[in-house]
Amino acid sequence: MNLYQIEQAYIQGRDLAEINELYKTEIADITEEQQVEVWRQVCGFVNVEMVDYLIAKGWRTAGVEDSNGDTLLHFLATPLRSYDYFIAEKRVYECTKKLLEAKVSPLRKNSQGETALMLAAKIGYTEMLEAYAETGAKIDFNDRNGNTILHILASNSSSAISDYEKSLERLMIHQRDENYDENNQRHLQERRQLEWRHHVDKARFNQFITFAIVGREFGIDPLQRNNEKRTAVEVAIGQKSKSIGAILKGVDFNDQEKVSLYFNAGGMDLHQACAEKDLEAIDALIKLGENVNEIYDKEGDRFNGMTPLAIAMQKHSVEITDLLLKNGADATTVDSKGWHPFRHLYDINSTIAVHIDLFHNKVFQKILKAYLDAGFDINSLLDDEENTLLTLSAKYADRLMMHNSYTISKVLLDEATYAGADVNKTNRDGISALMYLCATGLERGEKSLLTLLEQGASTELIDKNGKTALIYAVNNDRKSDAQTYCELMAEFGDLLIDAKDNTQQSALDYVVAKDNEALVAWLVGKM
């Protein structure tokens, strides 16, 4: 039995009547085991006429399975040579109806726990779904992971969308080619191939769109959660399948003015759009009237409790920040933690995503400018510890990864200082930016410390534990750095050398305990 020859006949576009004659010759004396392979090919190429012929010949349909547990309906939902063979409209519907009428079970699952309709959802076979619904076959099975057919559709939709976009782009490039000659056979053949590819990819993309629409109409809930607590809408968003996401969430096609906005939003809410850094979606959602100051309420999500501005801050997006602020987002608002968006800049989810290009492009300076332009007070309290941007940046100065000598702290310490920040403002614990910097390494803190001192930072402040800036400096674990900071501060003000903290320890006591002989000598010389 030479099924390869018949497969090539399909690919070459030979007439189905001719192909069916090839079958009749090949299958005259085949065994029952070989019949399964014939069924696989006939159903895979959706040859309705041959299905009729084999059923009429008395071939068994009900209970027929291959070694994987796939039935004839599974074969139908697994198209053969899908890249270079296009199945005409209505053939899948007709073939499904015939197989169901021939008692092929729509309930049976293969060894992967998949029904035929689940496989159909992977490729957007809407006609199979329609045939199932019309005959009353069950369409709301979940797979082993709790996925509905809409989850499955969404998780497989990105490739169809990508193929469609790529084939359109290739065709448009060819159409714009000034060297194209319609009298050149090679050029003409290339154009026709690109047009055919685009036609096929567009049809397959539309299959996914139609499946999503019909699936909702037939009562499959796009908001049902799978075992990972994700809805089909969320799966589509994760796959960046905006058209599918929009349809699954719901589009009012009667409101023509808003249809394009819903598709641009892609099924996302404003928080999801910020997390995906989708400027087009954010703009659409703002025009659809979403609240730009709403706190995200989704338990278990990493952005739960955050405002859109806070998410934009963690994503280091100037464009999103600017768009939100210019459309009513409050530059002073805090989230459910009592954190201002700038506080989230120092969260681990932000800091691990920092890279050198952000500094080269002055992203953090631009974000701060957008806030200042929107009315942000540079001395605002950013968290429940009453840190300002200046004290917060100084607090994290020694903790962040450096990128060619840059850190977020270094950049914003300078920017905040020159933007008029109160260099002597302290947090709830009475700690100033200068005190925090005294505990950092020279590479990270020296220039910023000098900037603060030059702008009037006091060396005489005392925190709630009685510690002075000098005591912070002498406790620096790097002995030479400790002395450098002490010497620099001595150039700008009184170090309060004799002051003792709440444990009755002076700066000299701490230096002696740390066995920093050079600094002991220097301090004694200053007394």
Beta-bridge partner residues of 500: 506
φ/ψ (deg, to 5) at 230? -110, 140
Q: What would the mean pLDDT of 80-103 be, rounded to a whole number?
A: 89
Give yes or no for residue 457 having a pLDDT over 90: yes
> How high is the pLDDT of residue 199?
80
Q: Are 122 and 128 in contact (CB under 8 A)?
A: no
Q: How confident is the model at residue 167 (pLDDT cuts 50, 70, 90)?
A: confident
Beta-bridge partner residues of 468: 462
Alpha-carbon span 326 to 305, nearest angstrom? 22
Q: What would the mean pLDDT of 397-412 be, rounded to a whole number?
A: 88
Provide the residue type at 211 as one letter: F
Alpha-carbon span 145 to 228, nearest angstrom? 8
Distances (CA, A) of 200 to 47, 90, 418: 19, 15, 59
**Domain locations in the chain?**
3-141, 164-267, 268-376, 380-527
Which of 236, 250, 306 has its CA nearest to residue 274? 306
Give yes or no for residue 105 having a pLDDT over 70: yes
Alpha-carbon span 468 to 472, nearest angstrom? 6
Alpha-carbon span 100 to 120, nearest angstrom? 15
DSSP state of 383: S
Alpha-carbon span 329 to 69, nearest angstrom? 56
Give yes or no for residue 323 having a pLDDT over 70: yes
φ/ψ (deg, to 5) at 362? 55, 40
φ/ψ (deg, to 5) at 506? -95, 170
| CATH of region 380-527, choose from 3.40.50.2300, 1.10.10.10, 2.40.50.250, 1.25.40.20 | 1.25.40.20
Region of poorest pLDDT, from 249-258, 309-318, 507-516: 249-258
Answer whether 3-141 and 268-376 agree in fold: yes
Distances (CA, A) of 70 to 19, 63, 83, 105: 24, 10, 22, 11
Over residues 433-444, the pLDDT tens digits come to 999 999 999 988
The residues, ordered by sequence, that sit 6+ positions from 444 with a Cβ below 8 Å of its Cβ are: 397, 398, 402, 407, 409, 410
Give yes or no for residue 1 having a pLDDT over 70: no
Q: Are 292 and 324 in contact (CB under 8 A)?
A: yes
Using only C-alpha atoms, what is the Rg of the chain? 34
> How high is the pLDDT of residue 67?
94
Q: What would the mean pLDDT of 485-495 be, rounded to a whole number?
A: 96
Structure tokens at 432: 């100033």
Q: Which residue stretches of 218-278 are H helix?
A: 232-238, 242-249, 256-265, 270-275
Handedness of CA 245, 251, 257, 258 (dihedral sign): negative
φ/ψ (deg, to 5) at 399? -110, -20
| CATH of region 268-376, choose from 1.25.40.20, 3.30.200.20, 2.60.40.10, 3.90.1150.10 | 1.25.40.20
Taking all residues of the chain, what is their mean pLDDT, rounded to a whole number?
94
Q: How confident is the model at residue 179 (pLDDT cuts 50, 70, 90)?
A: confident
Instruction: Identify the burial level of 511 via C-beta atoms within 10 angstroms of its C-beta, where 0-12 means exposed, 13-18 middle and 19 or more buried.
Output: buried
Over residues 192-244, the pLDDT tens digits come to 888 878 887 888 889 999 999 999 999 999 999 999 999 999 999 999 999 99
Buried-state track 404-422, b at ≥16 Cβ within 10 A, e below 16: eebbbbbbbbbbbbebebb
Whole-number percent of the chain with pLDDT over 70: 99
Task: Calculate ∠ Cα 474-479-482, nearest 5°.
Answer: 40
DSSP state of 88: P
Beta-bridge partner residues of 406: 403
The CATH fold assigned to 3-141 is 1.25.40
Alpha-carbon span 141 to 121, nearest angstrom? 12
DSSP state of 404: T
Over residues 335-377, the pLDDT tens digits come to 999 999 999 999 999 999 999 999 999 999 999 999 999 999 9
Alpha-carbon span 484 to 480, nearest angstrom? 6
Provide the residue type at 350 as one letter: S
